[in-house]
Amino acid sequence: MRGSPKCRYVGLLSRRAALGLLLGIISCSRSPKAEPVRAELSRLQKETGLTLAKFELDTVFTVNFANRSDVSEKELPVDAGPASISPSGKQIAINTSRDPLAQLPLLGQRGPRKHPPYVDYRAIATFSRDGSDRRDFVGISSAGGTCWSPHETKLAIADYSTLAILDLQSGTTHKVDERARVMSQCWSPDGKQFVYWVDNDIRMYDADQDRTRSIAKGTQPTWSPDGKSITFLDSGAYFSVCPGDDPKPLFEAKGALSGLWWSPDSRIVAYLTDEPLFGRAPWLRDVDAARLRVRRLSDDSDDWVDDIVYHYNLNYQWITSATSATSH
C-alpha cells in the first residue's frame, strides 16, 4: 500500500535534509585553501619580523617579501669576504684580510707607520649586528664557508684546505677534515653534529665521537631546525637523507644554485636559481644573476622574492628583525 501524499512529502524532505547535512559535513571537512607562500611570508613579516638576511661586503641586507626586494642596513666598518649571520641575527662572522689596526699615514705625516695597511693578514672576525664588539681570530680563514652553532658558541669554518671547529670562548680550533665546504645551516639542533661536503661527497661530523662519515653524494647540505631533515643538492634536484637510510627526492628546481635555507619552523625553504637578467636589467652585463626563491614543502607553493648578483659563498639566514618590514 502506497503511503499518503503527506508521508511521501515528509520522506522527501527527510532525504533532502540528510543530503544537505552530508554535503555540509563534506564541505566542512575540506581544508581551506592555503594562501600562497609569498603572501604567507609577507603576513608573517608584518606580524613577527620574519625575514631572510645576508651580509655582503660591509652591509646587512634583509628581504622584503611583499616588494620582492632587499633592504640595506647601515654600512659597517669592516672589510669582509664570505660572511655568515648567526641564527639569532645578532652576530656576524666574516673572513677578512684587513687588519683593523692598520692605518694609513696622515697627509704630510713623517716617520714610519706603526701598522702597515697592506700586510699578509688572515682572520675570522666576529662582531655584533651594529658593528660593535669586534673580535679577530688571527691566522685562520673561512673562505670556504662559515656556520654558527645553535647556541652561537662555536663556528664550523672551512678554507678549502682545512675544515675546523672554532671555539669562540677559548679561541682554539679543532681540525675535522680537509678540502671541505659548509653552508650557513650545517649544525644539528643540539649542536653535537654538523654536515658538510668534500667534492661531491656529503659528510657528517659527530663531535662526541670526533668522527666523520659519508652519508650521501651531492653538495651544499643543510640541517633543518627540527632535526628531521638533512637536505642537499644533486644534479638540479634536492634530496633529503637520514644517516643510514637512502636519500629521498624532495623536489626539482631548474637552474638550482644553492642548498636550502630552512625557516625556523622547518616548513619553508629558500634557495637560489640561475636567472638571466636579460630584459630586466639590460645595463648589467657579465654578471652572474640569480633569483632567491621560497617554497612551502607541505603543498609545494613556490615563488621568487628577490633578484641578486650571485657569488658562490653567498649565505642567507632566516631571522626575526624589527626592521625587516620596512622598505627602501
Q: What is the pLDDT of residue 327?
A: 40
Q: What is the pLDDT of residue 279?
A: 47
Mean of pLDDT over the chain? 83
When pLDDT is averaged across residues 213-222 and rounded to a whole number, the result is 96
pLDDT over 50 at 228, yes or no: yes
Q: What is the pLDDT of residue 192?
A: 96
pLDDT over 70 at 280, yes or no: no
User: In which band, very low, low, confident or very high, does the pLDDT at 109 lie, cut at 50, 70 and 90?
Assistant: very low
CA 284 to chain CA mean position, Å: 26
285 vs 94, residue with greater confidence:
94
When pLDDT is averaged across residues 89-97 and rounded to a whole number, the result is 91
- In the numeric block, which cell numbers belong to residue 52? 631572510
Q: What is the pLDDT of residue 99?
A: 72
Are the C-beta atoms of residues 187 and 194 closer than 8 Å to each other?
Answer: yes
Domain map (residue ranges) of the chain: 49-99+118-320
Are the C-beta atoms of residues 163 and 180 closer than 8 Å to each other?
Answer: yes
278 vs 314, residue with greater confidence:
314
137 burial (CB, 10 Å; 0-12 / 13-18 / 19+) is: buried
Q: What is the pLDDT of residue 221?
A: 97
When pLDDT is averaged across residues 115-142 and rounded to a whole number, the result is 83
Other Cβ atoms less than 10 A from the Cβ of 212: the count is 17
Taking the alpha carbons at both ends of the chain, their separation in whole angstroms is: 82
Cβ neighbours of residue 96 under 8 Å, at least 6 residues apart?
78, 79, 80, 81, 121, 123, 124, 125, 136
Homologous superfamily of domain range 49-99+118-320: TolB, C-terminal domain (2.120.10.30)
Q: What is the pLDDT of residues 19-57, one digit of tens each?
A: 555 545 444 445 567 899 999 999 999 999 999 999 988
Q: What is the pLDDT of residue 107?
A: 42
When pLDDT is averaged across residues 53-74 and rounded to a whole number, the result is 92
276 vs 180, residue with greater confidence:
180
Task: Please state, in angstroms and rounded to a whole number, the distance separating the CA atoms of residues 93 and 110.
Answer: 36
Cβ neighbours of residue 156 under 8 Å, at least 6 residues apart?
145, 146, 147, 149, 163, 164, 165, 166, 176, 182, 186, 187, 194, 196
Amino acid identity, position 227:
G
Secondary structure in 3-state letters for 43-86: HHHHHHCEEEEEEECCEEEEEECCCCEEEECCCCCCCCCCEEEC
User: In which band, very low, low, confident or very high, does the pLDDT at 105 lie, cut at 50, 70 and 90?
Assistant: very low
pTM of the model: 0.82
List, edge to edge, every strand of the sheet that includes 135-138: 83-85, 91-96, 123-128, 135-138
Q: What is the pLDDT of residues 163-173, one digit of tens each?
A: 999 999 999 99
When pLDDT is averaged across residues 72-87 and rounded to a whole number, the result is 86
